[in-house]
Structure 1
């Protein structure tokens, strides 16, 4: 995932459109598009979710093996003025994280090798409300930064599952809250606007559901567990 982020960042910074910064004025595509009060579109993208842990005791860190996920959704854009827009981007996000525990968490207890690994699959209905600040348009490009807050419903949280880690079920909260910040570039093509962007998300609430046993090797040492992640989105409008 890090390679994807590096490649996209290079593409964004080295995009041929940037050459327009140092050349004569070009013919403007979609010249009146940004004057619309309301506009709609859709996005596709990739994500990489992680966890940030805080611990009760000084044991080895729980390692998070995260893999690239994907997302799809809609965008609604409300123009506030020439530089500020309010955006709503509901989407469905799919991701998998594997938690790897050290043997020290079992403190002499009997365990199976499978007890050292927990697969955490998540399907989020992600609902962000964002403020977008754009620079002046430069020919057919327009850089921007974006930030805001969001909530997400984890459909695979297992929060209500009566079985906990002793039965192989790692449980998380269903409703979660985040703040987000990112940047991107609007590219005005002949028939539509294409927007690659990168956004980081950071959970506000603790997401772990403790096991029934307060001394559980899987959750007993976790004070807080919060999601953090990176989104790479490609928006079409």
Structure 2
């Protein structure tokens, strides 16, 4: 998180320095007049998921019978990942454009399960972890609002929606996410006009609009003792920070 905020500060300083400069020769002065242009992107992402826990639950275990158990699940850290994609930009007018950026996001979410009925020697709940690996295919559709170009800088803001397809297969881990999700996203960036192409650093935040938790996964677990961990979660909302470099 500190690195992301540092990137934002550096981006803001760069834009401010550009605004303080005098007029000079512009690189690629007519590139923004094209009705459509394309590019590629690389970047990094930071994934997280917010779990809503069930609380105490009545479970039936082979060796114990019916008993009440309380397990809490949480993602305790933002995990870094890698992103790659392409971009298509349709010019609407001088300041607005419609942008589609099909991308793939490789990453993971680290889940921690705390069993409140199974305490360690020092009296704290025993913890069980799961590294939930995710590979998303996203097709964000954003509206991009750009400021007036000054010299070779042009800051912008964007907002839109992003359908997400989770390619991670089924396994015998405790928790699993549904294969489809929809995220709303907002962000900011700056067009940097270089002599031969545009370099565009951008940061955006994505938040899931749907319940992404696959509750039916409990019935697919062969070990019935694991189902108490799966059933401990009622719903989940995915979120993600994405820092991207576009080359257009």
TM-score tier (shorter):
0.7 to 0.9
1:225 aligns with one of 211, 230, 236? 236
Deviation at 1:14, TM superposition (A): 1.9
Deviation at 1:196, TM superposition (A): 0.4
**Could you state the TM-score of these two structures normalised by the residue count of structure 2?**
0.82
Deviation at 1:93, TM superposition (A): 0.7
Query: Residues of 2 paired with 1:91 and 1:63: CA distance?
Result: 24
1:168 maps onto 2:173 in alignment: yes
* Alignment match, 2:132: 120
1:146 maps onto 2:158 in alignment: yes
Deviation at 1:157, TM superposition (A): 4.6
Query: Residues of 1 paired with 2:32 and 2:136: CA distance?
Result: 30
* Alignment match, 2:199: 194
Does the 8 A contact of 1:201 with 1:230 survive in 2?
yes
Query: Residues of 1 paired with 2:156 and 2:229: CA distance?
Result: 42
Unaligned runs of 5+ in 2: 57-70, 120-124
Query: Residues of 2 paired with 1:97 and 1:207: CA distance?
Result: 13
**Could you state the TM-score of these two structures normalised by the residue count of structure 1?**
0.86
Query: Kindly tell me: are residues 157 and 193 of structure 1, through their superposed partners in 2, closer, same or farther at Cα, counting changes over 3 Å?
Result: same
1:184 maps onto 2:189 in alignment: yes
Does the 8 A contact of 1:141 with 1:187 survive in 2?
yes
* Alignment match, 1:9: 8
Does the 8 A contact of 2:164 with 2:181 survive in 1?
yes
* Alignment match, 1:209: 214
Query: Residues of 1 paired with 2:32 and 2:95: CA distance?
Result: 10
Does the 8 A contact of 1:47 with 1:229 survive in 2?
yes
Deviation at 1:230, TM superposition (A): 0.2
* Alignment match, 1:68: 80
Unaligned runs of 5+ in 1: 162-166
Q: How many residues align?
A: 222
Deviation at 1:64, TM superposition (A): 3.0
What SS does the aligned partner of 1:8 have?
helix
Does the 8 A contact of 1:98 with 1:119 survive in 2?
yes
Does the 8 A contact of 1:150 with 1:180 survive in 2?
yes
Q: Which has a greater percent of strand?
A: 2
Deviation at 1:218, TM superposition (A): 1.9
Does the 8 A contact of 2:104 with 2:138 survive in 1?
yes
* Alignment match, 1:164: none
What SS does the aligned partner of 1:49 have?
strand
Query: Residues of 1 paired with 2:240 and 2:110: CA distance?
Result: 15
Does the 8 A contact of 1:65 with 1:100 survive in 2?
no
What SS does the aligned partner of 2:135 have?
strand
Query: Residues of 2 paired with 1:26 and 1:20: CA distance?
Result: 11
Does the 8 A contact of 1:75 with 1:88 survive in 2?
yes
Query: Residues of 2 paired with 1:169 and 1:103: CA distance?
Result: 13
Structure of greater Rg: 2
Runs of 4+ in structure 1 deviating by more than 4 angstroms, as ranges, are 58-61
Does the 8 A contact of 1:42 with 1:74 survive in 2?
yes
Does the 8 A contact of 2:50 with 2:74 survive in 1?
no
